[in-house]
Amino acid sequence: MSCFEVGAQMYTVREQCATPEGFAESLRRIAEIGYKCVQLSGGGDFPAPFVRETADRHGLAVVSTHTACELILNQTEKVASDHKLLGAPYVGIGMMPEAYRHSREGALRFIAAFTPAAEYFAREGLKLMYHNHALEFERFGGELCVDILADGFPPELMGFTLDVYWAAYAGADPAYWLERLAGRVDTIHFKDMKIARGKQLMAEVMEGNLNWPAIFRACETAGVKWAFVEQDDCGEADPFDCLRTSFENIGRARGAGRRP
């Protein structure tokens, strides 16, 4: 049985987190569902002491973030200080900036640009994490961008927050990539993919068509520690209801011994 902690990715409720009051209420509702940890992403830009105090009040650990790339590059020390205050060991990159996309040369420039920050974080006991979308599975002369990133950053400097939806969206097998990146995927994003009127849409975990038994097994092999439920687009549904459905589905699968 995999032993990862199931957390909530706050990007799911970003619209509810525009104000300090909304952020606090969102954390309360997330804790009420049963989550014990969160990843910060989207919503308002609140001071680290306020975030830590609010999360502590609701019994939630802040494990990771998605931090603006310009802050990682230009305010590296402050980013590290804030993460240590939050108790969050992972500094997340949500997406490669536009200037580095769609070419091998761009990926190599991205590696060169972000390596000094990654080295600083490592010295401070933190780790830079890269979150994929579909663009990282573009091929440049037969070589996938994600492979260029994995080979260009030493494992001790950068890990991967594998987003299983976006990997599948790109035509890749999430379970394969978990195994390919084993030891570097401390954190993962869980969201499902469903088809409606011929379109690929995001869905609650285990409410779509991804191969969850294979993903759960691969999480165990890869050493995943935290699985963050994220649903960027909840359609007409309440995002808190979506977070609850995913949390309960994972819990039932665990109770049935289906290795999540």
Q: Which helix (H) or strand (E) holds 255?
A: helix 239-255
Going from the C-alpha of 221 to that of each of 162, 175, 214, the distances in angstroms are: 14, 10, 11
Question: Is residue 153 included in any domain, yes or no?
Answer: yes
The whole-number pLDDT of residue 2 equals 59
Ranges of the chain with pLDDT below 70: 1-2, 256-260
Give the range of the structural domain holding residue 25, as residue numbers without chain letter: 5-255
Say if strands 127-131 and 90-93 run parallel, antiparallel, or are unpaired.
parallel
Q: For Cα atoms 120, 126, 132, give the angle at the middle one, nearest 5 degrees.
A: 95
The whole-number pLDDT of residue 133 equals 98
Question: Is residue 85 included in any domain, yes or no?
Answer: yes
Q: What is d(CA 41, CA 187) in angstroms, rounded to the nearest whole number?
A: 14
* 3-state class (DSSP) for residue 106: helix
pTM for the full predicted model = 0.96
CATH number at residue 185: 3.20.20.150
Total number of domains in the chain: 1
Residue recorded with tokens 């209420």: 25
Question: Is residue 246 included in any domain, yes or no?
Answer: yes
Residue 128, amino acid:
L
Residue recorded with tokens 């002369």: 141
Nearest C-alpha neighbor of 169 from the set 133, 209, 217, 216: 133
Q: What is d(CA 134, CA 71) in angstroms, rounded to the nearest whole number?
A: 24
Question: Is residue 260 included in any domain, yes or no?
Answer: no
